[in-house]
Amino acid sequence: MAHYQVGQKVVISVHRNGRAPDLYDGEVSKIGRRWITVKREIAPGYHCENRFDVDNGHGDQDFGYPPQLWSSRELYEAHVERTRLWKEVSSLVRESNRPPTHLSTEDISVMLRSLQGGSN
């Protein structure tokens, strides 16, 4: 989990019913042992505060997808791109039960070790 400081500008992503997430700008207002409290403007002159788990950035919510805290918009966008690429790779692998002809046995072995977290 990223290191946060009081006063730091942050981004909150909120997923709703399969749509693209809504993004909100906020500011860290308090940091405790368990929760990071973020203040965000919901209308001119009106603010709300949300709590986020210190360990994983998940919002304090009992139902649905919890909002997620991000230390920057760039970090959020990098996560979105990484997830998109992984879905594309996963889809290509599922489409065929035969290896692509342009990949050697060694290429596939290196990819497998990498996916398993080992060294190449």
> End of a domain among 45, 71, 97?
71
Give the DSSP H or E segment for 40.
Answer: strand 35-43
Residue 23 φ then ψ, to 5°: -115, 135
Cα dihedral value 31, 34, 39, 40, nearest 10 = 140
User: Rounded CA gap, 2 and 104, in Å?
Assistant: 39
* Residue 94, CA atoms < 13 Å, CB-side half-sphere: 6
Q: Which tens digits make up the pLDDT trace of 3-24?
A: 899 999 999 999 877 788 889 9
Same domain, 1 and 35: yes
Same domain, 96 and 66: no
Question: Residue 27: its pLDDT value, please?
Answer: 96
Identify the band that residue 97 occupies on the pLDDT scale cut at 50, 70 and 90.
confident
Identify the band that residue 96 occupies on the pLDDT scale cut at 50, 70 and 90.
confident
Q: Which tens digits make up the pLDDT trace of 19-47?
A: 888 899 999 999 999 999 999 988 888 98
87 DSSP assignment: H
The residue range of the domain holding 107 is: 73-120
Same domain, 29 and 8: yes
